[in-house]
Every structure is written in C-alpha cells, then in structure tokens.
Structure 1
C-alpha cells in the first residue's frame, strides 16, 4: 500500500516534491521522485512506499524495466503475483525481486492492458510507456484503491492517490463542485467518477485511462465488467479459503478488524491461520456486537483487542472538532462518521506493530446484506401496495424512535422510478426537501439523471440487482474511500477479501432468492457460517459499524446546532429557514433528526474546510 502522484506538464512543477511529501502517511518507508523530458512534456512520477512485500530497496518505486522503456508506480497489492510470476517466467521473463510490482510491470509489458484482468488484487496503477509515448492509468475492478485525475491548463495531466497531493502537484486550489451539492444532500456522498471537486474525477473501477504524449488525447477503456464476465459456479468455500489465503501473505504482521458480524466472522472462519482481532467498543452507549464478538472470537480461539471509542468525556467543542476531522479527512464530500472509528482502530493496530489488516468490508454490498436490499427486492410489489403502506409510514413518522426510517420508507413508496426510490432508502432527505434547501429543483433532477445513467446497463435486471449495481459506484465506493483515508492516515493497509472478481461471479450466478429471502439477506455467507458457528451467533439483528451519533448531537445542543447549519458558508448553499425547524423538532422530541443534523453539520464544516 502506497501513495502515488504524477504530472505531465509543459513546465516544471515547483511543488511536486511537496505533493509527494503530503502523502508521507501513505508510505513512510521510502520516497522516490523521477523526471523525464518526452515530446516536449515534463513527466514526473512520485511514490511513497509502505513496505509490505519484499522489504528491500530493490522493490522501491518508480520501478523501471531492464530495457528502460517502461516505468511503473502503483498503490495496492497483487495477491496472485506468485502464480502470475510462474506464468511469465515460463514465457521467458526473468525477475530480480520478489515484489508484486515487478510482476505487474512485466505482465503489462508482455500482455498489455488485458493482463490487468488476470491480476487478483487492489490497485491504482500508472505506467509510463516511453516506447509508445503514452501514460496508462488503471484502477482495480472494485475501485478499492483511489486514483484521482485532472487536466491542467497546458493540456497535460495530473493524477494522485489523494486530492490534496493532486492539488499540490498541479499548483492549484481545490474548488468544491456546486453541481453535485444536491447529489450529496440526497445521498450523503456523490457517485463515482465524481470527486466533489471541479475538474477532478476518479478513474472508474475496472478501467484504464490512456494519455498520449504525442497529441495529448485521452482515451478510456474497460478491462473488467461484472455484467459480461461469465458466472463461475465455484463453491463459496473454495473461493473464500483461496482468497483469504492469498491476502494474508505479507512480510509484515497481519491482523483482522473484527466486529462480531457476519462478514468479519467469515474472514476468521476461512483464514488458514489465527489472526489477532481488533474490535471497536462503544462502551455503555448501547451500540456494538461486543457479546457476539467475544463469543465468536472464543469459538475460533482468536485473541481479541478492544478499542474504546466513547463520548462521555467529550465536550461540545471536542465533538465539533471530531466532526471537523471527518470533513478534513474524507476529502470527498462523504458524511460518514465511521471515519473516526476506522482511524482509531487503525492507530491501535499500528501501535501494536501491524501494517496490514483484513476487513469484511464489501460483504453487505456484494452479497446483498443491507435491510434496504430486502426492501428493494420487493420494489414492484411494494409499489402496488404503496397507498396503504404510505399511510402506515406517515403514522410511524409521528413516533420519534421510528421517524428516521419511516420518512425514508414513505419517500421510497412514493418515488416515480427506481433511481429515486433507492435514493430514498440510502439518504436522509427527500428530493422535495433537497430542492427546498437549495432553492432549485434542477440540481435534484441532474443528480437523478446521473443515477439513471449509472443504472442503464442493468435497467432490465431485477430491482435487487439494480440496487447492488448502483452500490458499486455509490455506497460501496464511499465506504472504500473512507476506509482508505482513515487507515492510510495511520499507515495501515486494509485488505478486503470479500471483494474480488471470483466472489462477484459467484454472486451474479446466484438467484435473487438465493441471496435474499424475506427480510434476511447475505444468505450464502450465513450458510457458510452455519458450518462453523451456532445459529444463534449468526441469525441476529444487524448492528454494523456505525458509531453513536445521538449522544453527540445531544451534547452539542440546540443552539450550537442551529449556528453550525445556518451560519457560515453553508448559508450560501442551504436555506436556513428550511433547516432550522429540523433542529427545534429534534430537540423538542417530536422527531429523531440525528442523521439529518449530522449530515448538515458535516456539510457546513466541509464547506468551511474546502470552499476558500
């Protein structure tokens, strides 16, 4: 796991070294910069290394081929590098290191872009091909590793693992993109490839961006498409055991983030050797799976370390500073408070001597594990019963304890199409409320148009498959981004064994009923665990990784909440007369608006941080 940055410009970037240094947390073990003059361009590649495999200096990047024509930098891991090395060796290639970097470079030279489809891993890659006068950028099939790209004023190209590094390399200031503000308010994030900033996009998952040094033209290609890959009927047991076996390979200690939930329990069950487990404990805040985590860890004889993440000692100012840290750390507009818990548990892992941690992230999105997936599955039937259910949802909204979900259900049932319906399940504000906040319905319509475009390849598929496909570019993408930012801030590489092409092929080969039955989802993973755990440890209410926000909002208090969401830069974007009543409604106990207030406070702090 590392940080990469590159620049193709007509002039020398005086701040390029600063861009590399800005990502020291991503790679504290080595830093290398190289420059070339090609076709009138100044080409610069920078790399920060977090040494995981082949710790020698010989594996440092940028890594240049023996012929001198190709140079590669990449962030991530190629888990099947040993198998690929054997294949390439049989074809006459010779290797001078044990690193996956050299394997990836050799494969790209020998087979071209098609080699990326063989690479089982997570990666953001930049290949400078001096023979063909081009630069290739590529990102793994799920977008586990971030890669931002932007064009500069002279027609060149800038890319980086983080946007602050990109801005430094380009010598520009990041400017929030007002065109996606409505989309953020609808979802709590923006869909890829948008980054939330003007002129900056993410390389799409499973895609290659090619920049020609000869004519400055940019071309996009896909090397992976889950909809066209043939379903494999490999057993789940086989693929889990193989994948986790591959992902625990490292020349440094490996542990596991363990919540006691289905996904992390699958990792522990399938792992061929014991790993130390790390658990976030929210103490007496009545949130978490501690009793289950302890029981499952004991069952598998796995040592369990607890990270305490509690709010009782925090002042209102301390909580607001926490919120500000999230707004600063996510870079993209993503109102996900789990950033703090992920960073805290990553810090503990680093202090305990770990560099690599496994995570069950992606299990819910890939195997349809969220409650909303069950609701989405029955979209057509629920629409037919919509009027009666809508009345029921309106009644439930009057109960503060249930008002958060009831409002979303009502918006879901009343939506005119699936794009709007699923957005209602994901976000906390209705389309009408976002239009009122921003004073414009056009931004909402533009957001839904982008979502409909994303859905177009699966429009003829079931509602469940549409939801799962949409999550790939939205909810999953935002989770991966937050995890990357939080873990790499503490120099920890997080690997996600449930997100791989073989697992996705398995899922797309299953029927909807084999994934979700009734209100129970993620059935293949649960069936797998039944062979390892008692059912009472498997079939229980989903808790998740969400830190407690109710207490934090309460401690901030009504007056501070009003100030945060109605004053400052947010007042130029969101109408205070619309949002202020939600604060009063919440603190008077007429509705639970915790997550609405959190999203608005986050947005306010994010604008203060980035809209300069």
Structure 2
C-alpha cells in the first residue's frame, strides 16, 4: 500500500525538474511513511511513497524489469501474485524480488494491457515502457484504490493517488467545475470521472488509460464491468455453503502480510463475518478494533464485544466523544474535494486506533452492496412493485400532480405522509432511486443555487450520473438495478474514498474481502430473492452466517456509523456554522443564496426542522473552499454541460 505520482510528456521528451516531482511525491508522504524514491528520464517522471507490507527488504519502487526498459509505480495489493509467478517464470521472466509489484511488470511484458484481467486485488498503477514508448495506467475493478490525473496546458500529464499531488505540481488550475458542485450537493461527493477542479479527472474503476508518446490524449478504456445475470439455479442451502467457502477464500488471500494484521469490528454483520473467518484461519488471536460512542443511540460496542468474546480476539476499543467535531478542517484537507459523509469522523478515529496496534486491517465494506443489505433497497423494491402496476405515461401526470398538490407533512403519522409516495410514483426507477439518495433534493438545490450558478450548470443535473449507469446496467430487476448504481457510485466515491483517505492518513492498509471481484461476480448471478426475502436484506448472507454469529448480531436493526449532527448544530457547532455559511468563502462565490442558508440555520436551531444533513453538506463545502482552494482563487465557467454527461 503506497502513494504514487508522476509526470508524462504527451508531446515529446522534455526533462522534468526533479524538485517538482519530489514536491509532488512528498505531498502524499502520509501514504508511504516507510520510504520513497523517484525515477526520471526524458519525458517521464515517476514517484513513490512506500508503506511496507509485503517483501519488506526488496520491494522498493519505482521497480524495473530485467533490462530496465519497463518501470512501474504501484499502489495496492495483488492477492493472486504468488499464483502468477510460476506462470511468468515459465515464459522466461526472472524475478529479483518477492513483491507483487514485480508480477505486474512481467505481466505487462507478456500480456500487454490485458494484464489487468489477470490481477485479483486492489490496485492503481502507472508504468512506462521505453521500448514501446507507451505510458499505461490502470485502476482496480471496484475502485478500492484511487487514481487522479490531469492534462496540463503544456501537454504534461500529471497523475497521483490523491488530488493534492496534482495540486503540488503548481500547474493545475484551481477553477472549480460547477457541474461537480451540483453532483456534490446532490450526492455528497463528486462522482467519477469528474473532479472538483475542471482540469482534473479520476480514472474510473475498472478502466485503463494507454498513451503513446507524441499521440493525442486517449480516452480511458473499460476492461471490466459487472453483469447481474441472476440466473444461477441454486437452493438456499447450497448457496449458503458456497458463499461461506468463497468468503473464506477471500479472507485467506487478504491475510498475507509481513506485518501485524487485524480487523475492524463494528458489531455489524459484515465486519463480524470477516472476523469469524479470520479467527479460523489465524494461528493466534485476531486483533480487532472498535469504536464506542458516548451517545447510546450511536453505540454498537456491545455487539462488537459479543463477537470478540466468541472468537477470543485481542479486542481494542476507543471511546469517541459525542462532540468529536474538531475534524472538520482536517477532513476537508484530507479529502481534497468536498465530501459530505459525516461517518468520515468515526472512520478517521477507528483508523487512528487500529494503526496503534496493526499495520493492515480487514474491513467488512461492500457486503451491503453485493448482497442487498440496505433498507433503501427494500423500500425501492416496494415502490417498484407499485410503479409497475401502471405505465409511466399514466403515472407521471397523475402522481406528479398529486405530489405537487399534496402538502408536506413530516409531523404527521406515517400513513398520512403521502407526498413523497406520490412523487415517487411519478418517476422512473433511476429517478426514484436518485431522489431517495439525494442529500439536498432538487427543490432545495433549486432554491439554494443562485442564478449565476444555474447559468453555469446549463441545465445539468446530477441525476444524469444515475441515468448513465442505469442505461449500462443491463438489467431491469429492481434490486439488481440499484445495486449496480451503488456499485458504480456510492461504493466507489463515498465508501472507498472515505476508507482510503482515512486509513492512508495514518499509514494503515485496509483490505476488503467482501469486495473481491470474483465474489461480487458470483453474487450477481444469484436471484434477487436470495438476497432480499420476506423483508429481510442480505438473506443468504445471514443464513450462511447463522452457525458463526449470534442471532442478535445477525438480525438486529442496522445502525450505521453515524454522528449526532442535529445536536452539534444546535450546540457546540452553532457559532461555527453561522460564521461559515453566512459570510466568507461560501458567500464570496456568488453561487449560494445566503438568505436561504440563514433560514436553514434558524429553523434548525429552533427545532422547527432537522436540516442537519444539508447543513453538514454546506459546512464541508465551506471547509473545502478555505482549506483546499485557498485565498485568491475563484470559480470559473465550466466546459459545456454535456461534456461529461455522456462519459
């Protein structure tokens, strides 16, 4: 696990300054505190910061092939590298190290860009092949590891694990893309391939980028996608047995390390499942780390303790104060882009705790997306059954009108809150799911954004992100469709980004067994009835775990990794909120209605409404402006709205 960065001259073979590359590399020192090195040759510069996990003695990067004509910088872990070594040796390759990095170099020599198809793991890498005058970048299938890049005005391609390495170059313009602002306020993150800065991009998950010296910048090419076939003929009992075996194998592969290893244990189903398999595979007690919250409404510590006691783990618990809100500026600088998931606070803390005991931690991330665990999936399926009873041409005018006329009644009993139901009935599946996922829904964004920002947007809506993925999903199954959308958006841009930045900030490697692409592909063949059954999400997963975990862990209501935002904004963050939203950076953009933000703050403080989600989203955007954009920068007009809508 590491940080990578570099430069490539797309027009020729200029000599890059070592000081520039060194500055870019040191900007992500936290990702690799164990060492770092650079490689420079005409037209190419590669930088690497190392977090030593495997082959501590000889795995330094940049790493070369036998004759030095191919050089790579790599971030991640290839879990099947030991299986590939003898195959590559049979093709004539000579290995000088015991690292998974060298496997990629020789795989490139033998198979070219098709090498990515052979790699099982999490990865982002860039390599230069001098003989072929080819620069190649790739990112893993589910976007566990990040990759940012930008083509500068002078033809230099800059890239790095984090956006801050591109900013450290000095040639990247800090013009904010208004389309990214729309995506952020709708989703809580900027969806790939877009970045908050117009000139930068994220290499999408499951994509590669191949450039030849002197040729125009090519578009990224997709090498992997997930297909929900739902066609496996299998009963529940057999599915449980195969699922258990597949998870066991995935966990085993991720326990290969030359440094202390442990696991996050939240007390939820997914992390508990991972720990149960680790305990079977480990010769000694597993190290587990949990966060306890002073507020009992957010505390899952007792369930984590149940699992820790059952498997006799070395269990470490840290108490997060209910008022642990001092990370606002830290998080803004850490993520480089506006990022609004408040669970970043406890995630930061659990990574901080884990690093004091281990250098590698396994997590349970990805289980909900793969096996249908979110409550919102069940709600969407219920709404889809209602929508399927009438054609869209009839539903849209009928229920659209009812939705506009029916009063909003959050105070009323659930049975009387029909406005949202009517609105949902008037939408397509993708529109309805986008509405349910939106942090600030369209009516509020319409009121928040000034005319100046709306003109910049040119009619663009973040809904296009969901609709683009829905068109490519290849399924109209209600559950599979929203799983696919989540796997392309929420999982990559929210969950994986959150865990990557928080863990690497502390020099901790996190591995996700439930995101193994072979496991996810297998899960996509299972009928949706095995995932959601009788109103229970993750049905087959929980059934497979019944011999392993207590009933109270498997079948209790899902709590999530939350913080008490509503109370913070009525108490200790009250003054900070007013200062941030009603003056300074937010107001200076001219993009946001300051009077509306004032009303949101007043209504929340009085208790009339809970605007905590919207207020946190606004607060984190202000923190981004102050900590990342900085003084003297201002928004600039975007490219045409259609430019990335079809990407």
TM-score w.r.t. structure 1 length?
Answer: 0.91
- Counterpart of 2:369 in structure 1 is 365
Any idea what SS the aligned residue of 1:15 has?
helix
Q: How far apart, in 1, do the equivalents of 2:134 and 2:542 lie? A: 47
> Equivalent residue for 2:243?
236
Q: What is the rounded CA distance, in whole Å, between the counterparts of 2:314 and 2:81 in structure 1?
A: 30
- The residue correspondences of 1:96-245 to structure 2 (distance < 5 A) are 96-169=96-169, 171-227=171-227, 235-245=242-252
Offset at residue 35 of structure 1 (A): 0.6
Matched, 1:69 2:69: yes
Match of 1:539 in 2: 555
Task: Give the Cα–Cα distance (whole angstroms) in 2 for the partners of residues 525 and 279 of structure 1.
Answer: 22
Tell me the distance in 2 between the aligned counterparts of 1:36 and 1:107.
Answer: 23
Stretches of structure 2 that go unaligned for 5 or more consecutive residues are 634-647
Match of 2:309 in 1: 298
- Do 1:231 and 1:506's aligned partners in 2 also have CA atoms closer than 8 Å? no
What are the equivalent positions in structure 2 for 1:89-488 lying under 5 Å apart? 89-169=89-169, 171-227=171-227, 235-271=242-278, 272-273=281-282, 274-312=285-323, 319=325, 321-352=326-357, 354-383=358-387, 397-398=410-411, 409=420, 413=424, 416-439=427-450, 443=457, 445-458=460-473, 460-477=475-492, 478-488=494-504
Cα gap change, 1:535 to 1:173, in 2 (>3 Å): same
Hey, what does 2:614 align to over in structure 1?
596
**1:610 aligned residue (628, 643, 647):** 628
> Who is 1:53 aligned against?
54
- Cα distance in 1, alignment partners of residues 24 and 461 from structure 2: 34
Q: What whole-Å deviation, never above 9, does each CA across 1:272-314 have from its counterpart, x for those lacking one? A: 12421100111234212111111121112222211211135x6
Contact 2:74 2:124 in 1 (8 A): yes
* 2:231 and 2:527 in contact (8 A); partners too: no
> CA 1:577/1:82 → structure 2, altered by over 3 Å: closer, same or farther?
same
Q: Does 1:26 align with 2:31?
A: yes
Kept in 2: contact 1:455–1:470 (CA 8 A): yes
Q: Who is 2:543 aligned against?
A: 527
Deviation by residue 1:360-410 (Cα, 9 ceiling, x = unmatched): 1111122221111112223322446996997999665126x999xx79955
CA distance in 1, matches of 2:317, 2:414: 31
How far apart in 2 are the matches of 1:141 and 1:407? 40
Q: Deviations over 1:480-511 (max 9, x none)?
A: 11111111010001111100111111221111
Contact 1:248 1:254 in 2 (8 A): yes
Residue correspondences, number:
597
- Structure 1 residue 533: Cα displacement: 2.2
| Aligned partner of residue 411 in structure 2, secondary structure | coil
Contact preservation (8 Å) 1:357, 1:494: yes
**Compared with structure 1, are the counterparts of its residues 606 and 518 closer, same or farther at alpha carbon in structure 2 (3 Å cutoff)?**
farther
Question: Secondary structure at the residue paired with 1:498?
Answer: helix
Is 1:549 aligned to 2:557, yes or no?
no
Match for residue 576 of structure 1? 594
Please give the per-residue CA displacement for 1:406-432, whole angstroms capped at 9, x wherever unaligned: 799558616533333112211232212
Residue-by-residue CA offset, 1:103-122 (whole Å, 9 max, x unaligned) = 12111211122221221100
Note if contact 1:333-1:603 (Cα within 8 Å) is conserved in structure 2: yes
Structure-1 separation of matches of 2:330 and 2:319: 18
| 8 A contact 1:408–1:428 mirrored in 2 | no
Separation in 2 of the partners of 1:550 and 1:393?
Answer: 27
In the alignment, is the contact (CA less than 8 A) between 1:183 and 1:190 conserved in 2? yes
Higher mean alpha-carbon deviation, 505-514 vs 542-551, is at 542-551
Distance 1:302 1:279 in 2: 12
Classify the secondary structure of the residue corresponding to 1:4: strand
- Bigger mean CA offset, 200-209 vs 227-236: 227-236
Instruction: Say which of 513, 516, 529 aligns to 1:513.
Output: 529
SS in 1 for 2:52: coil
* 1:173 Cα deviation after fit: 4.7
> Is this contact kept in 2: 1:398–1:590, CA < 8 A?
no
Could you tell me how far apart the structure 1 residues matched to 2:341 and 2:593 are? 23
Mean CA deviation greater in 338-347 or 121-130: 338-347
Q: In the aligned structure 1, how far is the partner of 2:436 from the partner of 2:563? A: 20
The match for 2:637 is none
TM-score, normalisation: structure 2: 0.87
Q: Which shows bigger deviation, 335-344 or 535-544?
A: 335-344
CA apart distance, 1:151: 0.3
Q: Is the 8 A contact 2:227 2:521 kept in 1?
A: no
Please give the root-mean-square deviation of Cα atoms over the aligned residues, in Å. Answer: 2.7
Match of 1:566 in 2: 582
CA contact (8 A) 2:72 2:125 kept: yes
Offset at 1:97?
1.3
Shift in Å, 1:324? 1.9
State how far apart, in whole Å, the 1-side matches of 2:594 and 2:481 are.
35
Q: CA deviation at 1:228?
A: 8.6
Stretch of structure 1 that moved more, 134-143 or 263-272? 263-272
The answer on whether the counterparts of 1:357 and 1:495 sit within 8 Å (CA) in structure 2 is: yes
Q: Does the aligned pair in 2 maintain the 1:148–1:200 contact within 8 Å?
A: yes
The answer to whether the 8 Å contact 1:283/1:310 transfers is: yes
Q: Distance in 1 between matches of 2:203 and 2:419?
A: 32
Q: CA deviation at 1:559?
A: 5.2
1:17 corresponds to 2:22 = yes
Q: Is the 8 A contact 1:7 1:169 kept in 2?
A: no
Residue range with higher mean Cα deviation, 176-185 or 158-167: 176-185
How far 1:438 sits from its partner (Å)? 0.7
Which 10-residue stretch deviates more, 44-53 or 82-91?
82-91
What CA deviation, in whole Å up to 9, does each residue of 1:258-285 have, x standing for no partner?
Answer: 1010110110122212421100111234
Query: Aligned in 2, Cα 1:542/1:230: closer, same or farther, shift over 3 Å?
Result: closer
